[in-house]
Structure 1
Amino acid sequence: MMILCAMFAAVTAILAQLEIPLPIVPISGQTLAVGITATILGSRYGALAMVCYMALGAIGLPVFAEAKGGLAILIGPTGGYIIGFILAAYFTGLILEKTMHTFAMALVANVVGMIVTLICGTIQLKIVLSLSWPEAMAAGVYPFIVVGLIKAFLASWIGIEVRKRLIHARLLNQVEEASA
C-alpha cells in the first residue's frame, strides 16, 4: 500500500504540470489526481498519498503546479488548495467507503472533494492576499466550478474503472480489508 501511495503522489506531481495559467491560481490536473487517488485508494491511503505529495513539495521538489516546490508555496496564496487535497482525498474516500463504489457515488464523493479543496484554498487565498470574501470567491472558486465538475466526472469514471481492474487483479485486497 505504501508503494501505491507513492505512485499516486507521483501521478499527482505529473498531473500538476498540466495546467492552464490564470492570474492568481492556475487550473491544473492536481485535483483530477486527488479524485482518482481517493476513488481508488480510499480515505486513509488517499490522504496519505496526498501527505506524501505535499511533503515532496515542501522539501523543495518541483511537484506543485508550474514545477514549483518549497514551503513558500504551502504558506502562499495557493497553499490552501494543496493542504485541502489531503482533506478532499480523505472525505472523498470516506464517502465511498460508507456507500457503494458506483460511478454515481464516486461522482458525489468527488464533487464533495472538489468543494473541500475550494473551501480550503479560498480561505488561505483570502487571508494571504487580504482579499474580501467576494474577491476571494472570484479568484479562488468561480473560475474552477465548471472545470472542477468535469474533473470530478473524469476522476469518478477513471477511478471506478481502475479500482475494478485492481480488485480483479487482487492488488487492492489490503484496501478492502483496511476499509472494513
Structure 2
Amino acid sequence: MTVRQFTAARGIAAARFWGMGLLGSAVLAASAQVAVPMWPVPATLQTLAVLLLGALGGSRLGVTSVALYLAEGAMGLPVFANGTGGIAVLAGPTAGYLLGFLGAAWIAGRAGQGALRQAAVLGIAHLVIFVPGVAWLGGFVGWERAILAGFVLFLPGTAVKTALAFAVLRAAARR
C-alpha cells in the first residue's frame, strides 16, 4: 500500500466515522421528539437511543454522536425534547441529564459479549444519566423533588428501556 492509498483509506474511514456520528446524533434528536410532557423533565426515548448508540456503535462513536447532538442543540437547532434548542436548555433543569448522556454512551460501549455483563452495563449506563441529572435538577427544584420527579417517577420507563436495549443488543450479537 502506498502512502497515497493509505491516506485515502484513512480519509474514507474518517468520513465514514463522522457520517455515522451525524447519523447517531439525528437518531438521538428524533428520539427526543418522542416526548411525554412531565414536570420538570419530559419522558423521552433519548436514554434508549444513547444506550443503543454506545452499545452497538462502541464508546467512541456513541460519545461522538452525543457530543454532536449537544453541539447541534447548543447552536440553537431544535434537537432537544419538544423541538427546543439553544444554550438555555443546556443551562436549564434538564442539562444534567443531557450531559450524563456522554458518560452513559461511553459506558454502554463497554457492554462486551456476555449477557449478564451487557445487562449490568446497560443498567449502570442508565444510572450515569440519572446521577448528574438529579444532582443538577436539585438546584432548581430541591433535592426531594429532584429525586422523586427526576428519578423515582422514571424507574418503570427506565426498566423497560433498559430491557429493550438489552434485547436489541442480544439480537444484534446473534447476527
TM-score tier by shorter-chain length is: 0.7 to 0.9
Which residue is equivalent to 2:38?
Answer: 22
Matched, 1:43 2:55: no
Which residue is equivalent to 1:61?
Answer: 77
Q: 1:105 deviation in Å? A: 2.5
Share of identical aligned residues, percent? 33
Paired residues, number:
159
Choose which of 103, 124, 127 in structure 2 pairs with 1:115: 127
Which residue is equivalent to 2:136?
Answer: 124
Distance 2:90 2:141 in 1: 17
- Asked whether the 8 Å contact 1:42–1:90 carries over to 2, the reply is yes
Any stretches of 5+ residues in structure 2 without a counterpart?
1-16
What RMSD, in angstroms, separates the aligned Cα atoms of the two structures?
1.5
- Asked whether the 8 Å contact 1:122–1:140 carries over to 2, the reply is yes
- Asked whether the 8 Å contact 1:35–1:156 carries over to 2, the reply is no
Q: Deviations along 1:76-118, whole A, 9 cap, x unmatched?
A: 0001100100011111213x2xxx3244332211111110101
C-alpha spacing 1:72/1:155, structure 2 compared with 1 (3 Å):
same
Supply the AA of the counterpart residue of 2:59. Answer: S
Any stretches of 5+ residues in structure 1 without a counterpart?
166-180
Distance 2:74 2:171 in 1: 32
- Asked whether the 8 Å contact 1:31–1:85 carries over to 2, the reply is yes
What TM-score comes out, normalization by structure 1 length? 0.82
Q: Pick the structure with greater CA Rg.
A: 2
Distance 2:172 2:78 in 1: 27
Which residue is equivalent to 1:105?
Answer: 117
C-alpha spacing 1:56/1:162, structure 2 compared with 1 (3 Å):
farther
Distance 2:100 2:72 in 1: 16
- Asked whether the 8 Å contact 1:84–1:117 carries over to 2, the reply is yes
Q: 1:160 deviation in Å? A: 4.1
Matched, 1:139 2:155: no
Which residue is equivalent to 1:93?
Answer: 109
C-alpha spacing 1:59/1:163, structure 2 compared with 1 (3 Å):
farther
Q: 1:153 deviation in Å? A: 1.1
Distance 2:167 2:60 in 1: 21
- Asked whether the 8 Å contact 2:66–2:105 carries over to 1, the reply is yes
C-alpha spacing 1:159/1:64, structure 2 compared with 1 (3 Å):
farther
